Amino acid sequence: MTRLFRRPCGKAPSWSFFAFWLLCSLALADRPPAVAVASAHPLATEAGLEILRQGGNAFDAAVAVSAALAVVEPYGSGLGGGGFWLLHRAADGREVMIDGRERAPLAAGRDLYLDDGGEVVPRLSIDGPLAAAIPGEPAALAHIARRYGLLPLERSLAPAIRLAREGFEVDEHYRRMAAWRLEVIRRYPKTAAIFLDEGEVPQLGHRIVQPELARTLERLAKAGREGFYDGPVARRLVASVRAAGGIWSLEDLRQYRVVERKPVVGHFAGHRIVSASPPSSGGVVLVEMLNMLTEAGWRSLQGVDRVHLLVEVMRRAYLDRARYLGDPDQVEMPLDRLLSREHALRWVATIDPHHATPSSVLAEPEPEGTDTTHFSILDAEGNRVAATLSINYPFGSGFVAGGTGVLLNDEMDDFSAKPGVPNVYGLVGGEANAIAPGKRMLSSMTPTFIESSERVAILGTPGGSRIITMVLLAVLEAVEGQPVAQWVSRPRFHHQYLPDQMQLEPGALTEPVKEELGRRGHHLRQLDRSWGNMQAIHWDRRTGRVSAASDPRGAGSASTVAVENLH
Ligand code: DON
């Protein structure tokens, strides 16, 4: 206990000694026998374990894994992006979501991506520095280390600095992502010099070395938040963005702050669900779907009937997403109502068990109107982290700010550029998610904990708009007692209200099930690519076993180490 927490239980004043003693005893009685790290890259998983071995807690390890991913998974997340870190502190049960989501620049207005005729200019919110919002990840890492960690930032960032300086080897996944974004990477010579090999997608085993990123990480390590948002790094970021047509200012960087938010909490099948709150839509949509499943009696349904119910539930919750959700600091959201049992009951009453409800006719039944990455960590004390981080599209905006090595996000595309016009994930939105200065764009990232007397689960995944339905399907596997490998590997299907289609991974459903869904009026869209890269940890409290799994669709790794072998 004393080793892992800054305020050791033993130093409590005498008047509260008993309470502390009780808390300490409870915490001691509820410790996992092993630590676990699951992330989208073996080198990032190793960085997390390295920090746990050095005596860091799950929060220090989260800093190390985030920073390592920023180096070795440049297409997925990074210092130029943001994310949500869901934390559970075992000592006092504190649950908090660190909101390190990007913010719109102060010079951004609602029509930023519209032409003179009021039409959305294609790709303006996806490629290049005008697509980049003000990053949150550096501030979040400094905050997590200072507020929740045991080690100095220099220690937890050391593995990432080493990886940036010494380089890492290109794998198949890197090649696929680079090929996908080749055109925009080539457009920016600084990006191409780092991430390509003589203008081409590097061969397997080619080393990506990032000395400038190493220096930026070092400044962050030494000076904390100010090392990025002030001084030479900030000046370089702004100068470089502006020179290439962007609208950042030094004031944007100076103003950026992480926000500690209360997670969304729900209950499902005897489990407590803790998940991301706005500005992510993840937790709200997930809990809404789970509430509807409960009210519709999902457990008694099997086969095609269960799939039909799941799709109808997804459709309705995503409608609420499009209509209501946005940045909690700038829009009023009826969260209590959306998360209520009554709301679920009203939605369930509109579900026809034999026919798909066309999204176009779906009106809310209320009287009133109005490449990303995930990792999961469990430490020896039972501290937990589920973090989903993003620069949005693979390789973000494709723009590396001169002299910093920082690849900037294109998260501005997560705003609704114009009501009814879909973004790159086909999501539509309205007023609640319109662009405004300093506003955080709505996200689908859904880092989640599941907890009951039987188990603790830590999970999440990248995958744009499909993130929330992937987490939903995994929650069902978890509460039905399936092994963690099944949560991350199970075939997936998805519906997001608009477009009105049920998307299917290869092999997701049998032909007879598909035929029956077609007869019920579902528009099936069979995709030839799979999606997601889920990283999950399961601590089975009944058997005392800790297991972890990394999605076989990705190139990640999941490791557990028995506590007695850690040091
Ligand atoms: O915040 C969001 O919802 C998106 N920017 C996430 C993007 C993503 O997952 C891309 N990965 N496949």
CA terminus-to-terminus distance, the chain: 16
The finding on whether 373 has its CB within 6 A of some atom of ligand 1 is: no
The finding on whether 388 has its CB within 6 A of some atom of ligand 1 is: no
DSSP string, 59-112: HHHHHHHHHHHHHH-TTT--TTSEEEEEEEETTTTEEEEEEE--B--TT--TTT
- How far, in Å, is the centroid of ligand 1 from the Cα of 203? 27
What order do you get walking across the sheet with 557-562 strand by strand?
A: 259-261, 94-100, 82-89, 384-390, 373-378, 34-39, 557-562
pLDDT at residue 18 in the model: 53
Domains and CATH numbers, the chain: 34-257+372-412 (no CATH), 264-369+446-553 (1.10.246.130)
pLDDT in single tens digits along all 567 residues of the chain: 223 333 333 344 455 555 544 444 444 458 999 999 999 999 999 999 999 999 999 999 999 999 999 999 999 999 999 999 999 999 999 999 999 999 999 999 999 999 999 999 999 999 999 999 999 999 999 999 999 999 999 999 999 999 999 999 999 999 999 999 999 999 999 999 999 999 999 999 999 999 999 999 999 999 999 999 999 999 999 999 999 999 999 999 999 999 999 999 999 999 999 999 999 999 999 999 999 999 999 999 999 999 999 999 999 999 999 999 999 999 999 999 999 999 999 999 999 999 999 999 887 654 443 489 999 999 999 999 999 999 999 999 999 999 999 999 999 999 999 988 999 999 998 899 999 999 999 999 999 999 999 999 999 999 999 999 999 999 999 999 999 999 999 999 999 999 999 999 999 999 999 999 999 999 999 999 999 999 999 999 999 999 999 999 999 999 999 999 999
Which run of H or of E encompasses 493? Answer: strand 493-494
Q: Which atom of ligand 1 is nearest to the CA of 532?
A: 12
CA nearest ligand 1 atom 11, residue: 371
pLDDT at residue 15 in the model: 54
The finding on whether 463 has its CB within 6 A of some atom of ligand 1 is: yes
**Cβ-proximal residues to 452 (8 Å cutoff; 6+ apart), any chain:** 270, 271, 272
CA nearest ligand 1 atom 1, residue: 443
Provide the token pair at 386. Answer: 């589920």
The finding on whether 99 has its CB within 6 A of some atom of ligand 1 is: no
Contact between residue 133 and residue 103 where contact means Cβ atoms under 8 Å apart: yes
What order do you get walking across the sheet with 448-451 strand by strand?
A: 264-268, 271-275, 448-451, 455-459, 535-540, 545-550
The answer to whether the pTM exceeds 0.75 is yes
Active site residue 543: no
CA nearest ligand 1 atom 6, residue: 464
Q: Exposure pattern of 218-248 as b/e (b: 16+ CB <10 Å)?
A: bbbbebbbbbbbeeebbebbbebbeebebbb
pLDDT at residue 12 in the model: 47
Strands (E), 258-399: 259-261, 264-268, 271-275, 373-378, 384-390
pLDDT at residue 555 in the model: 96
d(CA 498, CA 418): 15
- How far, in Å, is the centroid of ligand 1 from the Cα of 6? 35
The finding on whether 448 has its CB within 6 A of some atom of ligand 1 is: no
The finding on whether 371 has its CB within 6 A of some atom of ligand 1 is: yes
The finding on whether 444 has its CB within 6 A of some atom of ligand 1 is: yes
Residue 340 neighbours by CB distance under 10 Å: 14
The finding on whether 414 has its CB within 6 A of some atom of ligand 1 is: yes
Dihedral sign (CA 527, 488, 262, 542): positive
pLDDT at residue 365 in the model: 54
The finding on whether 102 has its CB within 6 A of some atom of ligand 1 is: no
d(CA 317, CA 327): 18
pLDDT at residue 189 in the model: 97
Q: Which atom of ligand 1 is nearest to the CA of 411?
A: 5
- How far, in Å, is the centroid of ligand 1 from the Cα of 372? 5
Substitution candidate for ligand 1 out of 389, 390, 410, 415 with most atoms within 8 A of CB: 390
pLDDT at residue 364 in the model: 60
Please state, in angstroms and as integers, the Cα–Cα distance from residue 479 to each residue in 236, 350, 413, following that order.
Answer: 49, 26, 34
CA nearest ligand 1 atom 10, residue: 371
Question: 372, 404, 461, 469: which one is catalytic?
Answer: 372
d(CA 495, CA 474): 16
- How far, in Å, is the centroid of ligand 1 from the Cα of 463? 6
Q: Which atom of ligand 1 is nearest to the CA of 393?
A: 10
d(CA 66, CA 139): 12
d(CA 344, CA 340): 7
